[in-house]
Amino acid sequence: MTDIKRIEAGKRMSQVAIYGDIVWLSGQCGTAGDSITRQTQQALEKVGKLLEQAGSDKTRIVNTVIWLAKIEDYDEVNAVWDAWVPNGLAPTRSCCEARLGGNGYDIEIICVAVTN
């Protein structure tokens, strides 16, 4: 049986859980109150760093869920996303509107990736 590895494990949640070759990331947000463009950039920077810690990278993402506080931000988020995702390596993706925890948070990005 393979053990589950956890990265940045806290009382309530871990930032990353790894089981076998599969990597799950908790939702990543930018700084509350920043523009949606900046929050998206910050969230993706966090995703990249966590994937690196897990032995993966953005080319190995297989699924992403993006939660937006305002669906009207969809085009701005896509502009940042499209520049970040390597051409031809886009994962499956969902994007939905939802109330996010805490004032000023406009985006949360959740990813599943593989290590090899």
Q: Quickly count helices (H) and strands (E) in the chain.
A: 2, 6
Class of the CATH-defined domain 4-114: alpha beta
Q: Which helix (H) or strand (E) holds 84?
A: helix 74-84
- pLDDT tens sequence across 2-34: 699 999 999 999 999 999 999 999 999 999 999
74-84 and 36-53 helices, crossing angle to 10°: 40
Report domain extents, the chain.
Answer: 4-114
Burial 4-26 (b: 16+ CB within 10 A, else e): eeeeeeeeeebbbbbeeeebbbb
pLDDT in tens, 28-74: 999 999 999 999 999 999 999 999 999 999 999 999 999 999 999 99
Residue 66 CB coordination number (10 Å): 22
Express each pLDDT in 66-96 by its tens digit: 999 999 999 999 999 999 999 999 999 999 9
